[in-house]
């Protein structure tokens, strides 16, 4: 009788451990949601620098950008491009040329173009949608990246959603829930870009990638570093920021 009781307790405990372990395992959706909790922002102000590197030469572009939902505004501050502004509202892209103060609507096909000659497209820089809304993710494994254990996920674009890349592989830090690497693929399966995060910092209680390096795999010996100097989450952005009136 005692033997049966002990066996029952041991089995119960094993079941309990297994069940709690199973309950503790995160699904792909939960991992991405937790990543989004860190990296997604509905509103932000960012001071950043883009360094375009080709072999041993480089160009530095500095900018202040504002993002709110689907809207983005980038104002360049480096000498060569000073005063040049981009406004993205939904799929509409506008550009302000400071010399003659021209304000021109940019054709939609330019949205996937490298912004100011970089490896980041206008979509990359201004897209602030939640990844969970754009892609269906699957957990495909776990890998260590630069000594940090990561979840490896694969996402495929949700039908009907406008995205720059059809498929993406993401390495998400298991502890900090921040993306450390991404591979971006075309519908054909061709690898287009690889982004590696080289510096992560905790800002306003969330882990955020401060330095990212984007490599366009279709171009040789080139990469673009995107360095975030400061980021303010949910700042008060004045009404009218994302308007043509404000670009002038």
Partner 1 sequence: MRKSLVILILVFAGTLVTAPVWAVEAGGKIGLGYSGTWFENGTFQDEFTDYLDLELYLPPLGRTEVSYAFRVTSPLEGLTASQETGYFTKKLYVKQRFDRFQLTVGRQPVSWSFGSLLNPVDYTIGAEAFQQESAGKFTEAVEVYIPLNWNSGLALVASFPAGFTLETAKLKWGVRGRFGIKGYDLTVNYVHEAEAAGAGSDGSIGFIPLPRRRAGFTFKGDLGDLGVYGAFGHYFGEGTAENNSYLAGIDYSYKINYDHKLTMQLEYLGLERNNLASLLGGYMIFPGEQEKINLVTGHLAYPLDDFSSIALTAMASLDGSKYLLAPSYQSILPGDLDLELKMVFFLSESMPNFTSFAVNLNYPF
* The binder of partner 1 chosen from 11, 14, 19, 104 (CB under 8 A): 104
Question: How deeply is 172 buried, as exposed, middle or buried, from its count of CB atoms within 10 A (0-12, 13-18, 19+)?
Answer: buried
Q: Which is nearer to partner 1, 26 or 237 (CB)?
A: 237
* The binder of partner 1 chosen from 26, 59, 145, 157 (CB under 8 A): 59
- The two three-digit tokens of residue 70, written as one number: 């689907």
Q: Which is nearer to partner 1, 24 or 238 (CB)?
A: 238
* The binder of partner 1 chosen from 6, 14, 18, 92 (CB under 8 A): 92
- For residues 46 and 74, give the distance between their C-alpha atoms in angstroms, rounded to a whole number: 9
Phi, psi of 17 (to 5 degrees): -60, -45
Q: Is 248 in the site for partner 1 (CB under 8 A)?
A: yes
Q: Pick from 109, 81, 114, 122: which is nearest to 215 by CA?
A: 114
To the nearest whole angstrom, how small is the minimum distance from the Cβ of residue 54 to partner 1? 4
* The binder of partner 1 chosen from 14, 15, 110, 158 (CB under 8 A): 110
Q: Is 222 in the site for partner 1 (CB under 8 A)?
A: yes
Bridge partners of residue 61, in order along the sequence: 50
DSSP helix/strand/coil, 12: helix
Q: How many CB atoms lie within 10 A of CB 111?
A: 19
Q: Is 89 in the site for partner 1 (CB under 8 A)?
A: yes
* The binder of partner 1 chosen from 23, 107, 160, 189 (CB under 8 A): 107
- For residues 160 and 30, give the distance between their C-alpha atoms in angstroms, rounded to a whole number: 23
- For residues 210 and 100, give the distance between their C-alpha atoms in angstroms, rounded to a whole number: 35
Please, which of residues 13-52 interact with partner 1 by CB under 8 A?
A: 52
Q: Which is nearer to partner 1, 94 or 171 (CB)?
A: 94
DSSP helix/strand/coil, 110: helix
Asked if 119 and 223 count as a contact pair (C-beta separation under 8 A), the reply is: yes
To the nearest whole angstrom, how small is the minimum distance from the Cβ of residue 155 to partner 1? 21
Q: Which is nearer to partner 1, 41 or 94 (CB)?
A: 94
Q: Which residues form the interface with partner 1 (CB under 8 A)?
A: 52, 54, 57, 59, 79-80, 82, 89, 91-92, 94, 99-110, 113, 117, 186, 190, 192, 218-219, 222, 240, 242-245, 248
């Amino acid at each position: 009788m005692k033997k049966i009781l002990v066996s029952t307790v041991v089995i119960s405990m094993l079941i309990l451990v297994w069940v709690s372990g199973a309950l503790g395992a995160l699904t792909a959706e939960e991992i991405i949601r937790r990543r989004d909790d860190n990296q997604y922002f509905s509103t932000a102000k960012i001071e950043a620098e883009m360094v375009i590197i080709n072999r041993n030469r480089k160009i530095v572009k500095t900018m202040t950008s504002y993002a709110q939902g689907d809207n983005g505004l980038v104002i360049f501050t480096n000498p060569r491009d000073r005063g040049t502004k981009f406004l993205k509202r939904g799929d509409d892209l506008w550009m302000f040329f400071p010399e003659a103060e021209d304000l021109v609507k940019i054709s939609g096909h330019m949205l996937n173009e490298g912004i100011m000659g970089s490896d980041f497209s206008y979509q990359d820089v201004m897209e602030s949608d939640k990844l969970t809304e754009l892609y269906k993710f699957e957990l495909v494994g776990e890998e260590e990246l630069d000594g940090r254990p990561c979840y490896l996920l694969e996402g495929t674009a949700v039908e009907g959603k406008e995205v720059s890349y059809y498929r993406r592989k993401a390495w998400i830090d298991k502890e900090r829930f921040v993306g450390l690497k991404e591979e971006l693929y075309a519908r054909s399966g061709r690898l287009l870009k690889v982004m590696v995060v080289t510096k992560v910092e905790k800002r306003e209680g969330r882990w955020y990638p401060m330095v990212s390096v984007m490599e366009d795999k279709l171009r040789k010996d080139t990469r673009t570093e995107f360095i975030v100097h400061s980021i303010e989450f949910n700042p008060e952005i004045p009404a009218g920021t994302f308007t043509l009136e404000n670009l002038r």
